[in-house]
Amino acid sequence: MSGMRRAPLPEDALDATDRAIINALQGEFPLTSRPFAEAGRTLGLSESELISRLKHLREQGAITRFGPFFDAEAMGGAFCLCAMAVPEDQFDTVLTKVNAHPEVAHNYERTHRLNMWFVLATEKKHQINRVAGDIETETGLKVHLFPKLEEFFIGFRVNL
């Protein structure tokens, strides 16, 4: 995938129709033969205009993708948020060792004594503990595991 745009778009990059599309299509989309025609009707747009607007929004980088969002755990596989307190003078060495594991999906440096936060993604649950244990052995540092105990329905949306 190409790099995601990280700079804000110019103020006038989106018109009222673009904003209405972004606001409207964050929640649901029809599972019918001509879904853009159906979604367009609620927005007062023709099928072809909605499609060309979405293409343009994607090209501009206003949206990163359009389609189904899969629950990674429901697809099979195990995930666990992990954190380590890495001394500054060892940071790069530890980072190389941690990132060398293909099971490390995301890894972020954060402002805290626990300064390295990553997600382990494995096919089976028991593999999480094994990879975390390997990282502890390789780095000599504790890996704190923060598995998800409960997840809440998310109301998050961008409102433009």
Partner 1 sequence: MTLDASDRRLIAATQVGLPLTPAPYQEVATWLGLDEAEVIARLAAMQDKGVIRRIALAPNHYALGMSANGMSVWNVDDNRASELGTIVGALDFVSHCYLRPRALPDWPYNMFAMIHGSNRDEVEAKRRDIANVLGDACNGNDILYSTRILKKTGFRLPASEG
Site for partner 1 in 107-136 (CB under 8 A): 107-114, 116-118, 121, 123-124
* Residue 114: its H or E element: none
Q: Which is nearer to partner 1, 16 or 152 (CB)?
A: 152
* Maximal C-alpha separation, the chain: 60
Count of residues that bind partner 1 according to CB under 8 A: 85
Distance, CA of 78 to chain centre: 16
Residues 91-110 binding partner 1 (CB under 8 A) are: 95, 99, 104-110
Residues 32-71 binding partner 1 (CB under 8 A) are: 32-37, 47-48, 51, 54-55, 57-58, 60-71
Rounded Cα distance, 43 and 142, in Å: 53
The residue within the footprint of partner 1, chosen from 31, 88, 89, 126 (CB under 8 A), is: 31
The residue within the footprint of partner 1, chosen from 41, 42, 85, 133 (CB under 8 A), is: 85
Is 15 an interacting residue with respect to partner 1 (CB under 8 A)? Answer: no
Is 16 an interacting residue with respect to partner 1 (CB under 8 A)? Answer: no
Amino acid at position 125, single letter: K
Q: Which is nearer to partner 1, 9 or 42 (CB)?
A: 9
- Packing angle, helices 47-60 and 16-24, rounded to 10: 90
Q: Which is nearer to partner 1, 85 or 93 (CB)?
A: 85
Residues near 6 by beta carbon (within 8 Å), at least 6 away in sequence:
none
Is 75 an interacting residue with respect to partner 1 (CB under 8 A)? Answer: yes
When computed from its CA atoms, the radius of gyration of the chain, rounded to whole angstroms, is 21
Helix (H, G, I), strand (E, B) or coil at 36: helix
Least distance CB 58 / partner 1 (angstroms) = 8
Q: Which is nearer to partner 1, 60 or 129 (CB)?
A: 60
Rounded Cα distance, 84 and 138, in Å: 13
